[in-house]
Amino acid sequence: MSSIIPAPVSRTDSPGTFTLTSATTVGGEPAVAAYLSAALGLTTAEDAPLNFVLGDEPGPDGYTLEVSAAGIRVEAATAAGLFAGAQTLRQLAPEVPFTHIEDYPRFAYRGAMLDVARHFFGVDDVKRYIADIALLKINHLHLHLTDDQGWRIQIDSWPELTKKGAASQVGGGAGGFYTQVDYREIVEYAASRFITVVPEIDMPGHTNAASVAYPELSDIPVEAYEGIEVGFSSLAIRSERTYQFVDDVVREVAAMTPGPYLHLGGDESLSTTDEDFLYFIGRATAIAAKYGKTLIGWHEMGRSASLPVGTLGQYWSFLVPQEGAAEHTVSFVEQGGRVIMSPADVAYLDMKYDDSTALGLVWAQGPTSVEASYSWDPADVVPGIRDEQLLGVEAPLWSETLETIDDIETMAFPRLASVAEIAWSPRAEREFAEFEPRLARFVELLDRLGIKHG
Ligand code: TNX
């Protein structure tokens, strides 16, 4: 049987297939019709047997798909729902079984994160990753834009950030950055795939590159960094200039970001005292909140009890929460926010698959097999954080060891398929033995599309 990842909520097949050929015409909602006809080599027409219809839907972002001898009809209340239906069709094509599918996601936020700071990836690479992740109904791309090794986004009011702070990366390469025009191009391309870009400016740690550009941002002298250690940098917490920096950067990033979210990092600030960390988070989040975005922080930000109401927490500890992680995560919910789950030992795409994997790291409890990436549930990780407290799930890809788009794809696929199914499909009866043959079919699709996988 032709298979779908993430598994739909319900599917009832009947005998027969509808075959898509280059003569098949596609009509209805123009953006999704154009996307699918380009992807499958079909033709668009007004009155077509394959039709994308705006109407009712079974749930937010959901769609219904009806396939019979008469044709193929996808119906949803939004274009995003129709696009999800188009992804289902991409996986069933070209011999689409007669079927009735009702489908909608378990979680609103289904994310992938790309670290463009440790190694820089150009606009075309990012667009390719966006096209790839759309296949799995991922709808958020979190861009980790700044870190010790490089500052990757042009900020007009602080020009040295990219003049000086972008010219380095892990291992000594040239680095690079996005102009604001580049960034908008990424955002627009993502929007064409119904993906929202979530920019991250990580602070107060992970800020060595910013201080290389503007030494007054640090209390200690710094130089460009090409290694992979973490936790050694901090902004100058008691300097007013630091808060001017936060204000200017957040204002400009918010202005070029149409999506509702802005991620302020807050992780691994190991060179910042507890008192300074709390002081900084209180001030920086209050400044950032002026620009109208819902803020996100890595779970350590939950150490602060004075976050703007509704701030979201991103959990990156293990399936068994390490010291403080559960408590810090619950703190976001106590302050009116929700949680994005990214347990490092199962959802980090930069962990090696096994000891023989050339790329990747192993710090998160050793390698992460495809089976391990599938065999967990976000509602079982932190006591007190169940579906209602969860906004969703995200799979981060850190790039200390990754230099090319092939490296990115090799680590992301097929494990991103596991995380995407966890984020979309109903929890009931999820089982690796049932997933494995469907995954084999998805890997065939990756091969047809020339997408690398591990
Ligand atoms: C931890 S997880 C980090 C990153 C590293 C990553 C490598 C988190 C919030 N921070 O700085 O790149 O491990 O896997």
10-103 under CATH 3.10.129.10, yes or no = no
Q: Average pLDDT per run of 10 along the chain, which is 454 residues long? A: 90 97 96 97 95 88 96 97 98 97 97 99 98 98 98 99 98 98 98 98 98 98 98 98 98 98 98 98 98 98 98 98 98 98 98 98 98 98 97 99 98 98 93 97 98 98
Catalytic residue (choose from 102, 185, 226, 268): 268
- Say whether pTM exceeds 0.85: yes
Tell the residue nearest (CA) to atom 9 of ligand 1.
267
Other residues' Cβ atoms within 10 Å of the Cβ of residue 389: 18
CATH 3.20.20.80 residue ranges for the chain: 109-449
Closest listed residue to residue 101, CA positions, set 14, 3, 11, 15? 11
Q: Tell me what pLDDT residue 58 has.
A: 78
Q: Tell me what pLDDT residue 2 has.
A: 75
Which residues contact residue 4 at a Cβ distance below 8 angstroms, ignoring those fewer than 6 apart? 11, 88, 91, 92, 438
Q: Are 114 and 147 in contact (CB under 8 A)?
A: no
Atom of ligand 1 minimally distant from the CA of 230? 11
Residue 314: both structure tokens together: 């991103």
Alpha-carbon gap, residue 46 to 52, rounded angstroms: 11
Domain spanning 109-449: CATH superfamily? Glycosidases (3.20.20.80)
CATH 3.30.379.10 residue ranges for the chain: 10-103
CA 396 to centroid of ligand 1, rounded, Å? 9
CA distances from 379 to 9, 284, 384 (A): 18, 30, 9
Tell the residue nearest (CA) to atom 2 of ligand 1.
316
Closest listed residue to residue 136, CA positions, set 420, 423, 451, 396? 420
268 catalytic? Reply is yes
Atom of ligand 1 minimally distant from the CA of 298? 9
Q: Which residues line ligand 1 (CB under 6 A)?
A: 230, 267-268, 298, 316, 344, 348, 350, 361, 398, 400
- Of 144, 230, 357, the one to substitute when testing ligand 1's pocket (max ligand atoms within 8 A of C-beta) is 230
Atom of ligand 1 minimally distant from the CA of 268? 10
